[in-house]
Structure 1
Amino acid sequence: MFIDKREFHVKEVRYTIRSADVADAAQLSALRVKIDGETENMDREKGEAFIDAPGFEQLIKADAEASRNLFLVAAVDDRLVGYSRCQGSELKRLAHKVEFGVCVLQEFWGCGIGQNLLKESIAWADSTGIRKIALSVLETNEKAIALYQKLGFAIEGVLKKDKILSDGNYYDTIVMGRFHE
């Protein structure tokens, strides 16, 4: 699916949120690797589960054709600085929900990019009849958890000792969801 392009101006940063295009594939491949290396909030370490430009092209094309998928990018000028993705299922018992994931370059944290990617995804989901958005977040990512709660997400469960980080310790994953009546 696609959304209309939206412009934002937060903390002296002007950026656009729009649907991903196949022309974004090479930038997305490099961006994903960079973000994965900046924080342990992501599931992957830098370079793991690498997706090359042709892989992103296929993903973008498939998401554009799928009624329950939405792939968004955030761009400052022509530079991609973040992205989000909602992925749904065609299975009847799961067709009411999508899984949401988001990532933003660390230098742009605090500019509302993640929040606006999520708000655009919520608006899309609500307008297309999707009832539930689900996500997972590392327990230490307190700012993200607070944002999700502010936008109507509730904690649905905790996956105990779900991730091991570079300090050798195990951390919980918080499972959250937002249900639209």
Structure 2
Amino acid sequence: MLIEDKEYNIKHLHYIIRSAKKKDAKYLSKIRLQIDGETENLDREQGEAFIDESGFKQIIQRDTESTRNLFLVAEVDGRIVGFSRCEGNELKRTIHKVEFGVCVLKEFWGYGIGRNLLEESIQWADSNGIKKIALNVLETNEKAIELYQQFGFEVEGILKKDKFLSDGKYYNTIVMGRFND
């Protein structure tokens, strides 16, 4: 599904949040690879589950055509610096919900990009009859957990020792959800 472009000016940074387009596929492949190497907050290490340009084109087309999916990008001066996805399905038992994920290049942390991608996704979900947004977050990502709670997400569970990180330790994954009555 598509949304209208929205402009933001935060701390002297001007950016746009908009729906992903097929022309973005090449850049999305590159920044996803870069972001995966910048933080351990995500599920992948750099290079794992690589999606090439054609793979992103397929995802963008599917998400654009589906009323249950939303693929957003954040753009600064024509450069994609982050993105988010809401992915749902047509199964009767789970048609009411979507899974949310977000990532932003580290050099653009602190400008509200993740927050605004989340807020746009929530507005889209609420206006399209989606009752639940679900997500997973690493227990050490306290800023993200706090942000999600500000938007009405609640802890639904903990996946114990779910991630093995570079420090040789296991970490829990927090399962969160936001339900819109």
Q: Aligned AA for 2:31?
A: L
C-alpha deviation, 1:41, in angstroms: 0.3
> What's the offset of the Cα at 1:12?
1.0
Equivalent position of 1:36 in the other structure: 36
In the alignment, what sits opposite 2:72? Answer: 72
* CA displacement 1:58-98 (0-9 Å, x = unmatched): 10001101110000000001000000000001000000000
Unaligned runs of 5+ in 2: none
1: CA distance, partners of 2:77 / 2:4: 17
Deviations 1:14-71 (A, max 9, x none): 1000000000000000000000000000100001000000110010001101110000
What SS does structure 2 have at the residue aligned with 1:43? coil
Distance, in Å, in 2 between the alignment partners of 1:166 and 1:60 is 32
List 4+ stretches of structure 1 deviating above 6 A. none
Alignment correspondent of 1:63: 63
Distance in 1, matches of 2:10 and 2:103, equals: 17
1:135 match: secondary structure: strand
SS at match of 2:171: strand
Deviation at 1:166, TM superposition (A): 0.2
Q: Distance in 1 between the 2:89 and 2:50 partners?
A: 23
Looking at structure 2, the residues matched to 78 and 45 of structure 1 have their Cα atoms a distance apart, in angstroms, of: 27
TM-score by length of 2: 0.99
Deviations 1:118-148 (A, max 9, x none): 0000000000000000000000000000000
Matched, 1:139 2:129: no
Q: Identity, % of aligned pairs?
A: 68
Whether 2:169 is the aligned partner of 1:169: answer yes
2:87 is aligned with 1:87: yes
CA RMSD of aligned residues (A): 0.4
For residue 120 of structure 2, give the secondary structure of its aligned residue in structure 1. helix
In structure 1, C-alpha distance between the alignment counterparts of 2:84 and 2:2, rounded to whole Å: 13
Please name the residue that 2:97 is paired with.
97
Q: TM-score, normalised by structure 1?
A: 0.99
Correspondence 1:9 to 2:5: no
Contiguous gaps of at least 5 residues in structure 1 = none
